Structures are given as C-alpha cells and as structure tokens.
Amino acid sequence: TVSVLYWLATPRVLIAFSSFFVHFLACPVSLMSTAELLAPYAHVASLKSKNLRDAFIDAVNDVVGAPAEHTTRVKGLIAKLHNASLLIDDIEDSATRRRGQPAAHLIFGTPLTMNAANMVIFDALAECIAIDRSTADVAGGAATKGERVGETAVEIFQHELAMLHHGQGQDIYWRDTNRCPTADEYRKMVVNKTGGLFRLAVRLVMVGGDTERLADAVTEKLLAFTNHVSYLFQVLDDLLNLSSSDYHEKKTYCEDLSEGKFSFLTTHSVLAAQATGDTRLLRLLHTRPQEVDVKRFCLQLMSETGTFAHTRDTLATLSAECSTMLDELAAAKMITTSPTTPLAERTLSRDGDDISRSPTGSTTVVPTARLRGFVDRLAAAVPATDPAF
C-alpha cells in the first residue's frame, strides 16, 4: 500500500492526473452527453426562421472584407445568442408560442430552459475567445487584430451583451410598473436591446476583417447605420405584432398587448391619449388582456389616436434616412492597396485617405448594394393599412 501511495505521489503521475481532471472540467462535451441539457435550445433552433441576421452579416461583410470562414463563425455565434435570447424572452414575457410551436419552457420547464440558454451564451463566449486566438498576429507575437484596433472579440461581446441586457431590463421594468416611457426613452432602449446583437455582429466581423483598409469614417458610418436599421427593424416588428396574421398564427393574437408591453405603438397611443386625459389603454395594458375582444378594443383605441398611420409614416422616414446614410457610407473612401505594399509604407490622412507616395495606393467607394437590399426588404414588409378590429 505504501508503495502504491508513493507511486501515486510521483510528479509524473500527479501531472498525468491533474491533466486528466483539467481536461475533464474544460471539455465536458467530449466526456458526457449534453443533448438532454440543451434540448430546449435544440427545440427553438430547429424551428424555421427568416435568417435576416445572416443576410445582414453578408451585407456588412461587403464593406468589411473578412474571410468567409470568419463570417461563417460570426453567423453561428450570433445565431446561438439570438436563439438563447428567445428562450429567455419567452420566459420573461410568459409567452406560450414561438415560431408557431409551443415555447420551450412549456415543454421542458423553466429551470432547464434557463440553464440551456445560459450554457449557449457561455459557448458563444468561448467562440469569441477562439476568434481572438485565430486572429493573433503570429509574426508580431500575441497581439490579435482586435487588440491592434483597440477591441477584442471578448471585449465587444461583454460590452454589447451588457447593453442588450440593460435595454431588456428597461423594457421589463416599464411593463411591470406600468410606466409608459417617452418616445426618446423608447428609442434609446431599442438601440440598446435590439441594436445589441446587430452591433455585435458588425463589430465581430470587423475583428476578422481587413481593418487596415477601413477609414475611421467608414467604421463610424457603418455603426451609425447599424443603430438606425436596428430601430427600423424593431418598429416594424412592433407593427407586425399587432397587424400581421402570420405573426398571429406563429405567436398569439396581438401578443404585445397580452404582455402589457410598451411597444412603439402602445407608447405612442398611450402618450397621445394621456394628453387628452384618456388613460383607458394604459389601464388595459396593466391587466395584460388575454381576451380577443378586449385586444380588439385596444386596437380601436390605437386607431383613434392615429397610431398605425403614425407608425407607417415613421417607418417610411426611417427607411429614407437609412438610404441617405448608405449614400454617405458609399461616398466615404475605403482604402485599397496592393498586397505588396507594406502597411508601414502607407500614410493615412485624418480623413482616412491613403496619401502615401506609393503609386499602388488608391481609394474606392464602399459597396452598399446588399445593405440597401436589406433595408428594402424591411420596407417591403410594412402593411399598407390599419389592422381590422
């Protein structure tokens, strides 16, 4: 027995055992099945979606120029976070349906669904760590592309998910306290909440992109456009939630009303009605109505405040503003240089123009055709008339 204990205490054996346990803790997927633990996530991920975020990432990469394998990785990461957020949203909103099927927490229970969502979020964080490692500058040592431009994938991940949860918290707080936000408060919340995943996608693509060819003006204009189009996306979603029969089939009839949510439309209508002393819609939202007749009466109140027409006008304005922003983005000069021209031999002006003496340095307009297509796709989904009630 003493001999065995002595053998177990030798450095070589201790190292072997410690390596085994480190591997076990770090790589649970390889040693134990997690399929049952991730069943709620697998359920929501299996349901058909519009894949709008993939189309957006492809359009962004026309500007950024990242390798295909990098954008594929970013798409997978964003899909994980999006589906994980749906699991949590459905619990927080007491939703019963998602994409036409029962919400995951109704099938698997709330605790397992929450845990599965958190597991996937941490898996997405691991992807960010892998992105930082894969973009390391081997010639220069440990620095990654993200570090060279001031942001790593992990730093971007932390920042945008914090912003997203801040916006989500505001949304929940207003609903649960029945406090109607101002129009400006609502917009800022959306830019945080909905804009979080959009900005995360853009900034992660930039980490793997040809960052040296992008002038600061291009980066700033692209991120400003991203905030604007995310707001357009959310206002459209709010409108469709109350007016689209397709939405009603896949979720429930006017789900935002059942949740007591302050969407773009309910916020506008409550504020407009309160100006005349009418608090009926505000009070009805507080009851979280489930009856179809009550929700139809809410739609009638919203129609009387001109909310649906106002929302269509707002969407038209946002679409036009997005188009103007893309005009400005296309006009911003994008640096293009010969691969044989070392970065150290190039000089950039304050505006990002290549003013090096090298004859191979040049500039070109920013490709925005697919970004315009994305905006057009959203604009085409706007209903032409008020919903029937």
pLDDT given at position 341 = 36
Asked if residue 301 belongs to a domain, the reply is yes
Tokens 């853009």 appear where?
202
What phi and psi values does residue 305 have, to the nearest 5 degrees?
-90, 5
Q: What is the CATH number of the domain that holds 178?
A: 1.10.600.10
Q: How close are the terminal C-alpha atoms of the chain, in Å?
A: 83
Single-letter amino acid code for the residue at 122? F
Judge whether 316 and 288 are in contact, CB under 8 Å. no
Asked if residue 15 belongs to a domain, the reply is no
Instruction: Give the length of the chain.
Output: 389
Asked if residue 163 belongs to a domain, the reply is yes
pLDDT given at position 139 = 32
Q: 101: helix, coil or strand?
A: strand
Strand partners, 144: 136
Buried b (16+ CB within 10 A) or exposed e, 254-283: bbbbbbbbbbbbbbbbbbbbeeeebeebbe
The alpha carbon of residue 159 and the mean position of all alpha carbons in its chain are separated, in whole angstroms, by 12
Asked if residue 78 belongs to a domain, the reply is yes
CA gap 239, 246 in Å, rounded = 12
- Name the token pair of 311: 């929302």
pLDDT given at position 282 = 98
Alpha carbon distances (Å) from 325 to 227, 254, 381: 11, 33, 21
Enter the DSSP assignment of 100.
Answer: T
Strand partners, 98: 101
Asked if residue 5 belongs to a domain, the reply is no
pLDDT given at position 29 = 47
DSSP H helices in 152-291 = 153-177, 183-208, 216-243, 245-250, 255-258, 264-274, 280-287
pLDDT given at position 242 = 97
Asked if residue 108 belongs to a domain, the reply is yes
Alpha carbon distances (Å) from 78 to 239, 261, 270, 389: 24, 25, 34, 37
pLDDT given at position 124 = 96
CA gap 329, 321 in Å, rounded = 12
Work out how many domains the chain is built from and give that number: 1
pLDDT given at position 12 = 52
List of the chain residues with pLDDT < 70: 1-33, 137-150, 211-213, 333-365
Q: 52: helix, coil or strand?
A: helix
- Name the token pair of 209: 């992109």
Tokens 């896949």 appear where?
250
pLDDT given at position 4 = 40
pLDDT given at position 185 = 98
Judge whether 189 and 171 are in contact, CB under 8 Å. yes
Asked if residue 284 belongs to a domain, the reply is yes
Note the pTM of the prediction, 2 decimals: 0.82
* Cβ neighbours of residue 143 closer than 8 Å, sequence gap 6 or more: 136, 137
Judge whether 374 and 55 are in contact, CB under 8 Å. yes
Asked if residue 262 belongs to a domain, the reply is yes
CA gap 27, 285 in Å, rounded = 47
pLDDT given at position 7 = 47
**Can you give the residue range of the structural domain that contains 227?**
34-135+151-335+366-381
